[in-house]
Structures are given as structure tokens and as C-alpha cells.
Amino acid sequence: MYLLWLRVAAILYAAGCFAVFPAVLSKSQPWRSRCVHLAGMGFFFHFVSVIEMLVQAHRWMPVGVREVESLLGFAVAGLFFLVWWLYDAISLGIFALPATFFLVFIPALGPDRYRFPSQRVWMSWLVAHIVSLLLAYAALGFSLLASAMYLVQERRIKSKFKPGLKPGKDGAWQPLEWLPPLDTLERLALATLEFGFPFMTAGLLIGSFLVVETSLGASFFLDPNILASFVMWMVYATLLLLRRGVGLRGRKFAYVSGVALLAMMVVCAVNFFSQVHRFGPQ
């Protein structure tokens, strides 16, 4: 019966993840209330599942990777609610709730290794996994490009109006005159960032689901490519939080985006060191 409660908790955590982003990024009070209630109910059912699992097994210590993952997810959710209760810091839910869901998702599938109905179904999910991550990285790339163009355009405009500097003649070709306005570049950077984040989350979630089919088990998540991808997801979430939650804009946001560019380059580089990440069932 504990598995049923854990699955209910996973669904509620997923709904809480969906609600936390408009709650934090748009500072929406209705979404904030939905997030707290959904994640709180998930935490309650998770607590029931953990107690029933340990009582049914006649022990008070977890045994096995999936039990440890479930308890770790419970600890992360509990710490989030403690911080929220003491400091009203719901912004941490952007990191805590998706992390809890990822930790609970695979244990909620059951104690045995899940089997896909056919190889074709497995390949369909694999294609969705790859396409989602490619769209996420492409969107992030456009966002970083727009941020870089913002810095160039801002410097060009400032140098154009420096005291003592003669403006160019009318009709004369001006370098980088084709760059869009600053407001357009800023909105483009944010729009592409918000577009790509759901695909990044979906890609990691589908990848976590696909690994259940393999024989690698928990060692899959020690692969440098997987670890770097989760770090990239955290960088992605941090950029969104800084832009929409904190209100970081303009030049400062463009400079912070440079950190994301370095992180993306690291993720691409570690692909050469990956030993267990393979495009096919193991």
C-alpha cells in the first residue's frame, strides 16, 4: 500500500513543481497558495508512505537504493517546508520541489525494474528525451546570444553619445547598426530562457525514466554527463530566478548569462568523458 501513497505523493510533487514557477517568477499569490497546498499534500502522503514502508519491512532503517532515494526526497521536502515556515522563502522551491520529485519518481515506479512494452516504445521516449534537451540547449544558446548582443548594443549606444565625439554622417554605413533595440534584446533573452526551461526539465525527467530500463542502476547518475546536465538545470533555474524573481536586468543579467555559457560549454565537453551514457538499452 505504501507504493500507492508514494505515487500519489509523486503526482502532487509534480503539480507543486508546475505551480512554483509562476508563484516565484511572477510573484503570483494564487499560484503561491496552490504550490504550498499541493506540495504540502505531497509531503503528507510521502510521510505516510515512508512510515508504512518501514513498518511493513519491520525495520527503521532504509535498505536499498530506492528506499534511500525516497527518504532523501522526504528530507529535501521537509527542509524546504521548514525554511518556508521560518523565513517565508518559497523561492527555494524552484530547486527543492523538482529535486524532491526526481528523487521520488523512480522509487514510485516500484521495487522491481520497469520494463517497456517494446523496443519501439523505448526508442520513442529516447527520441523525446534527446529532442527536449536539444531544444533546451538551443533556447539557452539564443538567450545567451541575445544577452551578448545586448552588451554590444549598449556599448555602441553609449559611445555614440560621448562628449566630443562627432556622430556619423547621415546615410553613411555604421557598424552594428543592424542590432535590435535594447528592449527587444532583453525581451528576447527572457522569452527564449522561459521557453527552454520546461524542455530541460522534461528531458531530465524522461532520461531518469529511461535509466530504469538499463542495468546500470544508481551508477548511471554518477556519469559525468548526467551530473553536468543536472548542474546545467540548476544554472538554468538560477538564471530564471535572478531575472524574474530578483529582477536582475540589463548589463548585470547579461554578465550573469556568461556564467551559463561557460556551464553549457562544460556540459558539452564532459560528453567526451562519459562512459555509461549510451543511446540504447544496456
Each residue's pLDDT tens digit, 165-210: 455 554 444 566 777 888 888 888 888 888 888 888 888 888 877 7
Task: Measure the CA–CA gap between 243 and 143, rounded to whole angstroms.
Answer: 12
DSSP states along the chain = -HHHHHHHHHHHHHHHHHHHHHHHHS--HHHHHHHHHHHHHHHHHHHHHHHHHHHHTT-SS--SHHHHHHHHHHHHHHHHHHHHHHH--GGGHHHHHHHHHHHHHHHHT-SSPP--S-HHHHHHHHHHHHHHHHHHHHHHHHHHHHHHHHHHHHHHHHHHT-TTPPPPPTT---TTTTSPPHHHHHHHHHHHHHHHHHHHHHHHHHHHHHGGGSS-GGGGGGSHHHHHHHHHHHHHHHHHIIIIIS---HHHHHHHHHHHHHHHHHHHHHGGG-SS--SS--
pLDDT in tens, the chain (282 residues): 788 899 999 999 999 998 988 888 778 899 999 999 999 999 999 999 988 888 877 776 766 677 888 888 999 999 999 989 998 888 888 888 988 998 888 788 776 655 677 778 878 888 998 899 889 888 888 888 888 888 888 888 777 665 554 555 544 445 667 778 888 888 888 888 888 888 888 888 888 777 766 655 555 556 666 777 777 888 888 877 777 766 677 777 777 777 777 777 776 666 656 555 554 444
Q: What is the pLDDT of residues 115-138, one digit of tens each?
A: 677 778 878 888 998 899 889 888
pLDDT score of 11: 94
Please say whether the beta carbons of 101 and 3 come within 8 A: no
Determine how many CB atoms are found less than 10 A away from the CB of residue 235: 22
